């Protein structure tokens, strides 16, 4: 390597001012003209050496050779380093490459709805919001957490529906299915209380543009908190925790789903990232204590962690409700940038998702190739069981 470098001319990048000594200038010129690889047509303007300052930037074949060599050397060094760090072993099983999305750009709608104690009214109101969003060009519509019921442990058993039974047993999911089919859109249906046997779940239904139920996500991390003097809530008094991460292929890309408190656990988002998600959706109802502190922070963190889009949808704020939601439904890009957001009042925002931004950001920050599989590892238990 050193021998090869010694036989090449130095690139003409010296900065020579009018105060430079003649000997220094002569040395610089002799170095270049003495070289057999020097190109007189390199574009260096030696006739202006008296100007102050002079910077001759040589673009000769020789200098290009050095540039190529430097890049090759840098690339080889990076590859050797990456190999030693074993980035492919930082995910077990190995991460799934980001799949080509079925659509590159589309509009997403986040429907921040005001929830009442009247279930039929809530369903009709949600239907209207979805239809209006579809009429504005939205191909994906996201609803809030617990949009058909007041958010309380007393309400969950009363408003719960048997989703798998469908029809009259689940009017909320039946409406979502019908609207998804009629408007030919994908719906991430927020969440509703689900009754399954003798258990209750906080469940999100994802419907495809054909109206079929593509997946259900049962909230994995239950909202059990106690902040003295601020808020105490324990979902575990009535609800059962879900047991399965949910990622689903749709007409608008591969979507990983979490509900509210799930967003606090970066491991879930990392699993979705390793499974090739383009977008993470989190229907959620953060409160007036944690909302101002953590809601936006967590959304941007999950987007930056995994270099994907993140969409959240909250109920609108009702100051007279037993549980007061923070609001601020938001779409975040893969660089952590806020693309669109609401305030606290009822509102639907429609914004564009451009998946080309994912590859752009990952090229700029190649985190996948820089992880230290020799030091840490994320294990996807569900995928690992499937391969055994």
Which has the closest alpha carbon to 310: 330, 326, 295?
330
Q: What angle do CA 240, 241, 246 make, to 5 degrees?
A: 135
Q: Is residue 219 flagged as an active site residue?
A: yes
- Cβ–Cβ < 8 Å for 155, 368: no
- Cβ–Cβ < 8 Å for 4, 37: no
Q: Is 171 left (phi over 0), alpha (psi -120 to 50) or beta?
A: alpha
Q: Is residue 145 flagged as an active site residue?
A: yes
Q: Is residue 121 flagged as an active site residue?
A: no
| Active-site option among 204, 260, 281, 313 | 260
Return the number of other C-beta atoms located less than 10 Å from residue 293's C-beta.
Answer: 11
| Active-site option among 12, 58, 145, 205 | 145
Return the number of other C-beta atoms located less than 10 Å from residue 218's C-beta.
Answer: 20
Q: What angle do CA 303, 307, 313 make, to 5 degrees?
A: 30
DSSP string, 3-65: HHHHTSPPPS--EE-TTS-HHHHHHHHHHHHT-TT--TTS---GGGTTSSSEE-----HHHHH
Q: Is 381 left (phi over 0), alpha (psi -120 to 50) or beta?
A: alpha
Q: Is 242 left (phi over 0), alpha (psi -120 to 50) or beta?
A: beta
| Active-site option among 119, 139, 216, 219 | 219
The stretches of 322-355 forming alpha helices (DSSP H) are none
- Cβ–Cβ < 8 Å for 144, 111: yes
Catalytic residues: 145, 219, 260
């Amino acid at each position: 390597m050193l021998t090869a470098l010694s036989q090449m001319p130095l690139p003409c990048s010296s900065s020579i001012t009018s105060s430079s000594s003649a000997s220094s200038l002569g040395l610089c010129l002799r170095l270049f003209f003495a070289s057999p690889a020097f190109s007189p047509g390199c574009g260096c303007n030696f006739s202006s050496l008296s100007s102050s300052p002079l910077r001759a930037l040589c673009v000769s074949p020789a200098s290009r050779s050095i540039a190529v060599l430097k890049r090759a050397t840098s690339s080889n060094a990076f590859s050797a380093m990456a190999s030693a760090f074993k980035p492919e072993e930082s995910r077990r099983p190995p991460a799934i490459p980001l799949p080509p999305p079925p659509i590159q750009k589309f509009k997403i709608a986040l429907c921040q709805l005001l929830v009442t104690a009247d279930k039929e009214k809530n369903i009709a109101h949600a239907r209207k919001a979805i239809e209006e969003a579809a009429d504005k060009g939205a191909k994906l519509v996201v609803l809030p957490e617990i949009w058909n019921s007041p958010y309380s442990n007393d309400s969950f058993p009363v408003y719960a529906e048997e989703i798998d039974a469908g029809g009259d047993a689940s009017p909320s999911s039946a409406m979502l299915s019908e609207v998804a089919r009629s408007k030919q859109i994908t719906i991430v249906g927020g969440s509703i209380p689900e009754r399954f046997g003798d258990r209750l779940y906080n469940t999100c239904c994802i419907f495809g543009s054909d109206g079929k139920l593509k997946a259900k996500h049962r909230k994995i991390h239950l909202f059990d908190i106690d902040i003295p003097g601020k808020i105490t809530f324990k979902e575990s008094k009535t609800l059962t925790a879900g047991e399965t991460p949910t990622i689903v292929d749709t007409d608008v890309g591969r979507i990983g789903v979490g509900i509210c408190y799930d967003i606090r656990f970066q491991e879930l988002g990392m699993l979705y990232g390793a499974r090739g998600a383009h977008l993470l959706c989190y229907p959620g109802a953060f409160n007036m204590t944690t909302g101002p502190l953590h809601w936006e922070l967590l959304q941007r963190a999950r987007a930056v962690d995994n270099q994907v889009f993140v969409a959240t949808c909250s109920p609108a704020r009702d100051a007279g409700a037993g549980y007061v939601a923070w609001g601020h439904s938001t779409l975040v890009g893969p660089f952590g940038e806020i693309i669109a957001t609401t305030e606290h009042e009822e509102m639907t925002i429609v914004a564009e998702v451009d998946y080309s931004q994912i590859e752009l950001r990952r090229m700029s920050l190649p985190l996948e190739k820089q992880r230290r599989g020799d030091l840490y590892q994320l294990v996807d238990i569900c995928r690992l069981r499937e391969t055994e």
